[in-house]
Structure formats: structure tokens, C-alpha cells
Amino acid sequence: MLTKLSSIINNLVMGFLPSPLSDPVAIFLVMMAVLLIAPLLFEKIKLPGIVGLIIAGIIIGPDGIGLLERDQTIELFGTVGLLFLMFMAGLETSLDDLKSNASKASIFGFATFIVPMILGTMAFTFLLGYDILPSILVASCFSSHTLLSLPIVIKRGIARTPAVTVTLGGTLIVNIVALLVLAVVVKADQGELSLGFWLFLIPALIIYTVAALWAVPVVGRWFFRRFGHDEGAEFTFVVATLFVVSYCAKLIEIEPIIGAFLAGIGIRPLIPSLSPLMNRIQFIGNTLFVPFFLISVGMLVNPKDIVSNPKSLMVSGVMIVVAIAAKYIPAWGIGKLFLPLPSSSNCQSPIPLKA
């Protein structure tokens, strides 16, 4: 049914447009049309606009009607969108609030890492018959999460609640640990897991984190004091800071999203919440870069393969069930244990959406 529907849409669209589009103007036209129309349509049927963007990415992508290829341009904007998303999460994280909720954030972070790791490894090893290393690798993907629903949280004005603060702090912890597991599995598979790996990675991570949280505010204060009269320069400096810190993370074999999150935390004290600069950052991120990331995520999905291959369908079903259960259990438990108020508990559970 899905394949037939895709074929019909493909024939209709391709009667007017070449496939895939190669003209830059046409590509950007399609992307902007999707950014405008998809969220509006899905909000009309009471679904989040981010869902519409992901589904739109599936439809227009190479495995949908093939209107757009997921080429370097799409990957570039998608990567920028992901980094911007994590950067904005850092901007919403107060170090003071994080310190006061450090124990809760740590417990939440490790809980949302351990439970998915155990359930994911067991499911893929015993239910699907995978070897232990591939099972651990997939489970580490379950453990990490991306704050896809953050724009909704900011829009509803609940970004500074204790539940969200705990979730943001836990996100940093769980992503670091999950990425460490990923690095260990890759090195183990290559036969390169040694004492030297640990002697480099752990100190490098600690030094990098401390340096980022110290250097960003220091350099930022100097820049804003000297060039604060130029609004364009302020915004450019913030974006440049995001990518410098993210790229430095990559140099020491840490995922850039960790650097983006730390950059947001580091520069947050210098940008008032209601300032024009903060409004520009959130506007550009929420209306352009983050939606590009969501569309690029949708373009990775191949619905035809999932429907036509019974094994793929079974694996997808197991992944969906395990991912939802493994994230809901610790979120519900921590909400009951530390944040008993109904409003806090309810706003915590949906935030750690899977990457």
C-alpha cells in the first residue's frame, strides 16, 4: 500500500519536476515550502510540527518520491541544525540550576543509559540473535537521546522547570557515556582497544570540558565589552563560538554535539533570556536550522525496505518497543522519586526523544 501510494505521488510530481532536483534554487524552494507547509498541516490535526517535518523528509527523500537527494548540502544543513539544537539546549541550562540539581541529573542520566543498554543488548542478543558487540552498539544508540522536543518546551515556557533542568543535565551525561561506549565498541572491533586509548580519552574529555566552560565566558565577555554595539557581530560571534567548540570536540574524538551543548552552557550567562540576541538565536535555530535537521533525519528512512522485508519489519518493531520502554521506565521512575508534582513529572517524560 505504502509502495503503491509512493509510486502514484512520484508519477504525479515527476510529471512537473525532474528527479532528483539539481538546481540550487529549486532545491531551496522545495525545502522552504516543506518548512512552511508541513508543520502547519500537522498542527491542524493536533500533532507536533516536528513530526510533520520528519515525515515530509521521508516523502521527498531518495527513498520516497526521490525529489531530493540527501547530498552534501542537505547533510551540511542537517548537521548545523543538530548542533544548533544542542546549543540551544545548553542556552536553556543554568549552571546554578544544574549544580542544585546535579544529583538528580546524574541519577537520571545514568538511569536512562543503563536501562536502555541492558534492555537493548538483551533484546538484540536473545530475541534477534545478534552477536554481543553489534547488540551493545545498537543498545548504545538506544541509550543516547537528542532533545527533539526542546523547541516545543521553549515555546510553552517550561524550559526552566526543575524537570527540564534535570533532563538537560541528564542528556549531557547520557550522551557522553553512550558515545564512550560507541568508541570502545569500535576500537574493540578493530582490535585497537588498549590502555593508551583510555589514557588519552578520559583526561582529554575532562580537560576539554573544563576548558570550554572557562574559555567561552572569558572570551565572550571580552568580545561583548569591545564589540557589543554591533548586533551583527554579536550574532556572528555566538555562531562562531558554537562551531569552534564543536570542532575542538571532534579533534579529540568526541562527538561535536557535546561541544555544542557545552558552548551553550558556557555562553548562557552573557546572553539575557529576553535580549534581542537570544531572540535572533532562537528564531534562526527554530525556523531554519533545526527544521532542516528534522527533514534530513526523515530522508534517512527507507519505508519501502521496512514494509517489503519481514526481518526489517521485525527489527524495527523490536527497536521501537525497546526504545520507548527503555526511556519511559527511568523517566517515569525519576519523576516519581524526585519530582512528584504532576506538572513536573508530566513535562519530563516526553523530552528525551530518540535520535
How many whole angstroms separate alpha carbon 82 and alpha carbon 290? 6
- Residues of the chain with pLDDT > 70, as a percent, come to 89
Q: CA of 292: how far to CAs of 7, 58, 229, in Å?
A: 25, 13, 31
Contacting residues for 244 by C-beta, under 8 A, at least 6 apart: 263
pLDDT of residue 252: 84
Cell readout for 5 is 501510494
Q: Taking 50 as the threshold, does the pLDDT of residue 319 lie above it?
A: yes
Maximum CA pair distance of the chain?
62
Lowest mean pLDDT among 100-109, 267-276, 291-300, 302-311: 302-311
Give the CATH number of domain 97-288+310-348; options: 3.20.20.70, 1.20.1530.20, 3.40.50.300, 3.40.50.970. Answer: 1.20.1530.20
Q: Taking 90 as the threshold, does the pLDDT of residue 217 lie above it?
A: yes
The per-residue pLDDT for range 242-251, each reduced to its tens digit, is 999 999 998 8
Helix crossing, 195-227 with 162-190: angle to 10°?
Answer: 140
The per-residue pLDDT for range 65-100, each reduced to its tens digit, is 888 888 888 899 999 999 998 898 888 777 777 777
DSSP letters spanning 250-313: HHTT--HHHHHHHHHHHHGGGS-TTSHHHHHHHHHIIIIIHHHHHHHHHTT--HHHHHH-HHHH
* Closest C-alpha to 275, from 265, 283, 286, 287: 283
Domain residue ranges in the chain: 97-288+310-348
Lowest mean pLDDT among 174-178, 274-278, 282-286: 174-178
pLDDT of residue 344: 45
The per-residue pLDDT for range 45-54, each reduced to its tens digit, is 888 888 899 9
Q: Which whole number is the average pLDDT over 7-11?
A: 55
Amino acid at 256: P
pLDDT of residue 241: 95
Return the number of other C-beta atoms located less than 10 Å from residue 311's C-beta: 8
Using 50, 70 and 90 to split pLDDT, how confident is the model at 317?
confident
